[in-house]
Structure 1
């Protein structure tokens, strides 16, 4: 256990990096770590470097795995399954095909046009932006492994239950006709060499970094401000763990935003440090990643209002229940 803890501290939390940044702040910039400016500068530099290092390594590794699960193969795996097992496999495949909420929509169209059950495609649609291996490892680096594993488990449960409920609602008629009438091509599986997979993984790292770098900088900046400049009393009054409205407020505040979990993690870290409930913070993160306004607008183009409303209601209620659950049992994780 001591070796595991040491590896976790050095490889994920990067305590060595925190020490080097502390030397930079104190010796080079001449600022005290106990001052607001010094603490903010340390938080910003340390989190930005740590997230970019972890993100690059994780996306490269996960993209290598993802190269074995292109959309056609994912569709074929799901095509022969029905019922709860299909929803579970759809949710699990979402964890190894890490797409943001907007880029998941074209896959939703492809899966639906291929004749996959509607509930299964929604299980994938919920899971893909919400839960992936990179988010689990980054959560472990910011918080701990128990929180990271619990987050993944409840995210998969939400995806399975959400897809199952939508499937049983029999709302296939509320999918736009152009989706169901467009038949996906049954293309042969391309055989990739190790060099091809290496190149694909590098391209994915560059593409994702290019897409999220601004959100990371903004998220870390907000986190640094919360951590060192906003009074704890003010935060507690608004979304403190003792306020019943904190979870639904956090979930609703997350919907208008559009960011990956990589940009919301620094904000979550700062909020927990200010005494905000763990469940409130996780509800905010889940709403940002699974229910962003741009993704809802895109989804409205392919499904009709009743189905979109059912999807939104199921996911937002599920997120709030998860938030209250984590707030009630936070002592088990922190």
Structure 2
């Protein structure tokens, strides 16, 4: 039997206790992905470095392994304001706290410490890979006339690889149909309080995720920090409206806000209170002058450098 590369399924669930298998099921925990990339045996091998009177390799011994997973998920709401979106477990395992305001919205704020963890099952055409204790990072991409995407990268504790039947009851009904980034669907983008027209916006949480390995205690995947950044490509505004060159020279900080979606239940809003703008780089789009602006995303009072609101 030949394994097909286009038959892949990710199941993911938040763990009640770190490292304990949350046993995700296809009926309750299937993730609707755009792409799945898996490194089942990540980690360093150990070289023996033997002295011998002849040339040749010395034996390489496998060190302790972990799993690495990269996955893309479309960005859309939950369908009902105040309900958590289906991709919630992935966000929570990237160092975000979820706050559910019933009937209104669901808010995701970054945390420092006490980060949640994830169990993931990845079925590759009946080859089953698992990890527990997973934690990761997330980035967001908004390109004009394209579907907005979240890209997740995870590290997890290794579990033995085995054969496993591909589930036939995967339920993706909680995933809403996404809307492409257009003027109609993306009604608001402001930088330093000024509305700007853009054709590309990306933000990367750049969470530092490490495998912590010691003798005498269990290995774990830990979050050690984050350094969010981003980039926006905007139509060059009049200098009298906003002078992005002076802002870069002065190191000014200001707000960033993006709203994508117009109907309740499928609106995602991103707010950043203290964003720095780097030196603009010129580019052309259909004969129009564009500026690519590097962004640094800074906290204000702590754990507030970015807020994602689904409403």
Q: Per the shorter chain, which TM-score range?
A: under 0.3
**TM-score computed with the length of structure 1 as normaliser:** 0.25
Structure in which a larger fraction of residues adopt helix: 1
Structure of higher CA gyration radius: 2
**TM-score computed with the length of structure 2 as normaliser:** 0.26
Structure in which a larger fraction of residues adopt strand: 2
